[in-house]
Amino acid sequence: MRGRLVRFAAVGAVNTATYVGLYLLLRLVLDYLVAHIVAFLLAMVGSYFLNCRFTFRIRPSLRTFLLFPLSNVTNFVVTSAGLYLLVDVFSVSETIAPLLAASVAIPVTFLVAQYILTEPRPRPRWAEDAPEVRS
């Protein structure tokens, strides 16, 4: 699990760099908000495939592709709530608080992504009597 978490963090770093690069490039021809949205979506698609390939070593599927954005929502909620608590409740510096919030969000986001991408799914009813194929 530790190796997966390290690979997840590395993919996150690549994803962040991808987002920033795309944003700066798209900003040359698009409004900043449109550039942000397009860069974010493209980086998220890249993150999905990188996480499938390198972090969890699974085959991509339409189902997991459609569910994967939930891990980004989780990250946003945890970092936002953490940031609020740290700054407004515990009076932590606004400069340090995002790093602390991210340190909590990364493992939580990892667990959500791992569940979405690797949770074993029940076999369909029609396959219950069929012999299991091992590869």
List the domain boundaries for the chain: 2-120
Residue 99: predicted pLDDT: 84
Q: How far apart are CA 126 and CA 112, in angstroms?
A: 29
Q: How far apart are CA 130 and CA 132, in angstroms?
A: 6
Q: How far apart are CA 46 and CA 17, in angstroms?
A: 11
Q: How far apart are CA 74 and CA 113, in angstroms?
A: 9
Q: How far apart are CA 23 and CA 29, in angstroms?
A: 10
Give the H/E segment covering residue 42.
helix 32-50
Q: How many CA atoms lie within 13 A of 55 on its CB side?
A: 28
**Ranges in the chain, pLDDT < 50:** 135
Q: How far apart are CA 125 and CA 46, in angstroms?
A: 34
Q: What is the pTM of this model?
A: 0.75
Residue 132: predicted pLDDT: 54
